[in-house]
Structure 1
Amino acid sequence: MDEDLAEELRAAIGDFVRRVRLHDRMPRGQAAVLGHLDRTGPLSIADLARREHVKHQTMTRTVHLLHDRALVMLSPDEQDRRRQVVTITESGRRTLDDERRHRASGIARAIRDDLDDDEREVVRRIPEILAKLRP
Structure 2
Amino acid sequence: MASSTEDIAEQLRQAVGRLVRTTRAHADTLPGTHAETLGYLSRAGPHTIAELAALRRVKHQSMSRTVGELVTAGFVSRAANPADARSFVIMLTAEGATALEADRAARQQWVAARIATTLTPAEQDLLAQVPALLDRLSHDPSTD
> Is the CA contact (8 Å cut-off) linking 2:29 and 2:102 kept in structure 1?
no
Q: 1:97 aligns with which of 101, 111, 136?
A: 101
Q: Secondary structure at the match of 1:43?
A: coil
TM-score (normalizing by structure 2): 0.91
TM-score (normalizing by structure 1): 0.97
Q: Secondary structure at the match of 1:133?
A: helix
CA shift, 1:79, in A, is 2.0
Equivalenced residues, count: 135
Q: CA RMSD in A?
A: 1.0
Q: 2:23 aligns with which of 20, 24, 37?
A: 20
Which residue is equivalent to 1:37? 41
Which residue is equivalent to 1:119? 123
CA shift, 1:114, in A, is 0.7
Which residue is equivalent to 2:6? 3
1:60 and 1:42 map into 2 onto residues whose CA distance is 15
2:57 and 2:36 map into 1 onto residues whose CA distance is 12
Structure 1, unmatched stretches of 5+, are none
Post-superposition, which runs of at least 4 consecutive aligned residues in structure 1 deviate over 3 A? none
2:33 and 2:59 map into 1 onto residues whose CA distance is 12
CA shift, 1:58, in A, is 0.1
Q: 1:64 aligns with which of 65, 68, 74?
A: 68
1:122 and 1:44 map into 2 onto residues whose CA distance is 42
Q: Deviations over 1:97-125 (max 9, x none)?
A: 01000000000000111110011001111
